Amino acid sequence: MNTPDQLIFTSVKEKHLEVDATLKHLVKIHNSAKELFILAEELDAEGFSDFLQPVLEIRHSMEHVVRGLYHRLFESYEKDADFDYIRRCYEKALGHEYRCFFDSADWISVRYREKIIKSLKGFDAECIHGAIPNWYSKLNPRAEAINKEIADIRSNKDISKGHQVVDEIEHYQGVLSELTSTYEVIQNSMPSLIELRSKQRRKFAGKIVGAILLAILSATIGSVVTAVSR
């Protein structure tokens, strides 16, 4: 049978673990958001610099983290009220980090989809299939499915889900990774796309020139035949 001192020790230990678990989730989400910051800056540094909301969320998060750490390091960290205060600080910070991640992820997903559409604009189906053989069979259907998947992620996001928050973030990261790969495939295929389009234009121009020459030849022959018959 546990003594009162042992029960108190166990209770304190459990509260330490609870606070630390919240802090671990906070660190994971912060690192995920930081990765998106780097990706967004590579994708469109100027455009992302004008998007202030994620930066504000990070700033608010750090305020709550510092408050919790200050109380933990320089004030009391033994009473129930202390644990509750520090946990609330970390939970508030977690909420800001969560919103920072989703704001950044939403921005990146929109930019990637815009860039994919813009990159392929001006190329017909024949060029796209020639340069990216699996575009219509695999990449494009998956890109369309990702649009719905992102909409579902955005509509179902909820900070109150606790540990499932990390699962949601990892899911969104996976989707963004697919969009990144698709965009890279298009960019790597751009020389082939341009070359195929040039060949199409040269072929079309050749047909036009041939048709004009044929028309001129026909007219010339017709004139000669008319002149001879006179």
Structure confidence at residue 5 (pLDDT):
43
| Phi and psi at residue 117, to the nearest 5° | -65, -45
Q: What is the pLDDT of residues 103-123, one digit of tens each?
A: 899 999 989 999 999 999 989
Rounded Cα–Cα distance for residues 82 and 71 (Å): 8
Sign of CA dihedral 127, 132, 136, 141: negative
Q: What is the mean pLDDT of residues 173-202?
A: 90
Would you state the structure tokens that stand for residue 46, as one six-digit string?
């100027």
Q: Which of 34, 150, 153, 162 is nearest to 94 (CA)?
A: 162
Domain of residue 149 covers 4-229
Q: What is the mean pLDDT of residues 175-189?
A: 93
With a cut of 60, say whether residue 24 has pLDDT above it. Answer: yes
Structure confidence at residue 25 (pLDDT):
85
Q: Which of 100, 69, 102, 106 is nearest to 85 (CA)?
A: 69
Rounded Cα–Cα distance for residues 124 and 119 (Å): 12
Q: What is the mean pLDDT of residues 146-165?
A: 78
Q: Which residue has the higher pLDDT, 15 or 68?
A: 68
Q: What is the mean pLDDT of residues 56-72?
A: 90
Sign of CA dihedral 94, 96, 100, 102: positive
Please count the helices (runs of H) and the strands (runs of E) in the chain.
Answer: 6, 0
| Phi and psi at residue 14, to the nearest 5° | -65, -40
Structure confidence at residue 19 (pLDDT):
83
Structure confidence at residue 218 (pLDDT):
67
pTM value is 0.76
Residue 127: CB atoms within 10 A of its CB come to 21
Rounded Cα–Cα distance for residues 93 and 57 (Å): 9
With a cut of 60, say whether residue 41 has pLDDT above it. Answer: yes
Domain count of the chain?
Answer: 1
Structure confidence at residue 8 (pLDDT):
43
Structure confidence at residue 69 (pLDDT):
87
Structure confidence at residue 9 (pLDDT):
39
User: Do 178 and 146 contact (CB within 8 A), yes or no?
Assistant: yes
User: Do 47 and 112 contact (CB within 8 A), yes or no?
Assistant: no
